[in-house]
Amino acid sequence: MGLPWLLLNARRYEKAIEAAKTSRDDRVLAISLAELGRSEEAVAAADRAVKSIQNPIILAQVASAYALAGKHDKARAMLSSIEAKAQERYICEYLWVQRGLCLRNPRRETEHELFRDSTSRRGFVGL
């Protein structure tokens, strides 16, 4: 995942933006900008990321940037597409949940809560 992703998860958004620009990680750039309320820049970075990424897990993370930036329809469309891909291939549930549930509550406190809430509804043992 690299330094930009680690800084993002540490909520050090300005540093994550710097690192993402250096490493050309538009996914982290989009999410970090969206977290800081810089919606137009976030959407531009998310648009660039979508053009270069095929991995459905990372696309779910980009969808969260759209949701945080207020582009809920675009995020929902991406997540529907990812859900369709999940019928064809395995997608790690934790990583999908990590950002995918952002549409319901983009400012959720922890990813742990997202995973626990999602798995408990599906009958899995929560953390």
Q: What would the pLDDT profile of 49-104 be if each residue is shown by its tens digit?
A: 999 988 888 888 899 899 999 998 998 898 888 878 777 877 777 655 655 455 55
Inside any domain, residue 110 = yes
Inside any domain, residue 57 = yes
pLDDT at position 8: 94
Residue 84 sits in a domain whose CATH number is 1.25.40
3-state secondary structure of 59: helix
- Residue 39 sits in which domain range? 2-121
Inside any domain, residue 127 = no
Inside any domain, residue 113 = yes
Q: pLDDT: is 77 or 106 the higher one?
A: 77
**100: closest CA among 122, 126, 82, 73?**
82
Residue 63 in contact with residue 42, Cβ under 8 Å?
no
Inside any domain, residue 126 = no
Inside any domain, residue 48 = yes
On the CB side of 10, CA atoms within 13 Å amount to: 11
pLDDT at position 119: 41
What is the tally of structural domains in the chain? 1
The arithmetic mean of pLDDT across residues 35-58, rounded, is 93
